């Protein structure tokens, strides 16, 4: 029950952020331009990072399946791969920020840039929090603590991780439509 409440709170934070973005974006009386004509489109890296995030959810699901089959080695392997895919997602987000910065899209330039950096940073902070949980799951898996009867740690971590996938889809769609 606690994890469900936590996921709902996190989802509400992102929903409020996206709603604020939509209100500002659709305001016909905005004094500051939404974006400058020189603003670049979204970095291709965001699409790659989306695929990496989806792959990490798939490997975490496989980790859980292995635990339910008492496959300790498989559980450990998939937990470790999930962790490193999550870490790669964070690195790819950093590369996307760098790409935008190199194209002179600075956070203080306009609302488009501010929205890009703030929404992606908010998500990355939640991913980093998930990496701590994935680190614990990976360590416990390597110690053989998960099996068919005991795998609740993986289930709870997967609930959070998969919710971050859903949130990322909403954020990416919001950013993509906002860049048009």
For residue range 112-164, list pLDDT tens digits in order. 788 888 899 999 999 999 999 999 999 999 999 999 999 999 999 999 999 99
Domain count, the chain: 1
CA 131 to each of CA 82, 107, 152, 176: distance values in angstroms, whole numbers, following the listed order: 9, 26, 17, 26
Residue 147 belongs to a domain with what CATH number?
1.20.120.80
* Comparison of pLDDT for 74 and 17, the residue scoring more: 74
Q: What pLDDT score was predicted for residue 31?
A: 64
- pLDDT tens, 56-91? 999 999 999 999 999 999 999 999 999 999 999 999
Please check whether residue 36 lies inside any domain of the structure: no
Give burial (CB, 10 Å; 0-12/13-18/19+) of 3. middle
Cα→Cα distances 56→35, 62, 89, 175, Å: 33, 10, 9, 22
Domain annotation covers residue 34: no
Q: What is the pLDDT of residues 29-62, one digit of tens each?
A: 666 666 665 556 788 899 999 999 999 999 999 9
Domain assignment present for residue 150? The answer is yes
Cα 173 to the chain's mean position, in Å? 13
Residue 86 counted as domain residue = yes
The reply to whether 37 falls in a domain is no
Structural domain includes residue 88: yes
Domain that holds residue 163: 2-29+43-178
Residue 23 reports pLDDT greater than 60: yes
- Within-domain flag for 38: no
Question: In the prediction, which pLDDT does 141 show?
Answer: 97
């Amino acid at each position: 029950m606690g994890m469900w409440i936590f996921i709902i709170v996190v989802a509400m934070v992102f929903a409020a952020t996206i709603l604020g973005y939509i209100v500002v974006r659709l305001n016909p009386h905005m004094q500051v331009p939404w974006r400058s004509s020189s603003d670049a489109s979204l970095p291709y890296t965001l699409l790659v990072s989306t695929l990496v995030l989806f792959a990490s959810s798939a490997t975490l699901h496989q980790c859980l399946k292995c635990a339910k089959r008492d496959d300790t080695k498989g559980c450990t392997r998939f937990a470790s791969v999930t962790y490193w895919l999550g870490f790669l997602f964070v690195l790819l987000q950093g590369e996307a920020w760098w790409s935008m910065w190199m194209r002179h899209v600075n956070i203080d330039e306009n609302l488009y840039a501010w929205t890009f950096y703030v929404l992606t940073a908010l998500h990355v902070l939640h991913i980093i929090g998930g990496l701590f949980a994935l680190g614990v799951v990976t360590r416990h898996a390597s110690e053989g603590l998960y099996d068919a009867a005991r795998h609740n740690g993986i289930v709870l971590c997967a609930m959070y991780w998969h919710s971050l996938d859903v949130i990322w889809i909403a954020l990416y769609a919001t950013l993509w439509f906002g860049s048009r």
